[in-house]
Amino acid sequence: MSIDWNLVAAVGMPIVTLFLGAFINHLVESRPKLISHLGFISSHRLEPQADGTLGAIVNTHSVIIKNTGRKAATNVRLGHNFLPNVNVYPDVAYEIRDLPGGGKEMVFPTLVPRKEVSVNYLYFAPDTWERVNTHVESDDGPAKVVTVLLQPQPKPWLLRLVWTLIVIGVITCCYLFFTAIRSLAT
C-alpha cells in the first residue's frame, strides 16, 4: 500500500495551521493574567504581662497579587471573611466594600501589566490566615493561585545547556519518526 503524501499534506496542513494559529494567538494576545500567592505566614507571642499572664499572640500573613499579562487588569477584587489591620505595598489606590454576606472586599481599580501589589495583614489569635481571605478576581475572571516553594535557582548557563539538549532531542526524535514512516511507506 502506498501513501499519497500530497493528499496527506492537503488534508493535514489546514488542520495543523488551525491549531498553530490558535496557539500563537493565545501566546501573543493582549489580556490580563492575574496570579496570587501567599508571601509569608508568621505568628509572634508578645512579652508576658506584669501580672504573669501570657502575652497575646499576633499573627501576620501577606497576599501578593501580580498581573503577568500584557493588558491592565480592571477591578481587581480581594475578598475577606473579615478585614483585620491591613497594609498595602506599594501605596496604590483601593477601596473597601461591604459584601452582602458580611465579608469585605478590597477593590483595586486597575493593576497595570507587570505590577505587583502586596497586601499585609496583622491580627490576633485565635484567628488564622485560612479564615481571612476568600477570593482574588478581576473583571476578566479569577486569579490563578500559585503555590510558592523556596528553592535554589539553577545557574543561567545550566538552563541554556538543558534547553539545548531538549531541542537536540526533539529534532532527533522528529527525524527518527519521519525516517521510520518513510521506510514503512517504501
The closest of 60, 52, 35 to 148, measured between CA atoms, is 35
Burial class (CB in 10 A: 0-12, 13-18, 19+), 126: exposed
Q: How do residues 153-174 score in pLDDT, each as one tens digit?
A: 889 999 999 999 999 999 999 9
- Residue found under cell 543561567: 156
- Give the model's pLDDT for residue 1: 61
Class at the top of the CATH hierarchy for domain 34-145: mainly beta
The Cα–Cα gap between 141 and 33 comes to 9
Mean pLDDT of the residues in the chain: 87
pLDDT of 168 reads 96
Non-local CB neighbours of 99 within 8 Å, separated by 6+ positions: 79, 105
Q: Give pTM, 2 decimals.
A: 0.66
Give the count of beta carbons closer than 10 Å to the beta carbon of residue 108. Answer: 22
Number of neighbours of residue 117 by Cβ within 10 angstroms:
21
Q: What are the start and end residues of each CATH 2.60.40 domain in the chain?
A: 34-145
pLDDT digits (tens, 9 = 90+) for 62-72: 999 999 888 88
Closest by CA to 59, choosing from 82, 77, 78, is 82
Highest mean pLDDT among 53-57, 147-151, 176-180: 176-180
Average pLDDT over residues 24-36: 80
Q: Are 111 and 117 in contact (CB under 8 A)?
A: yes
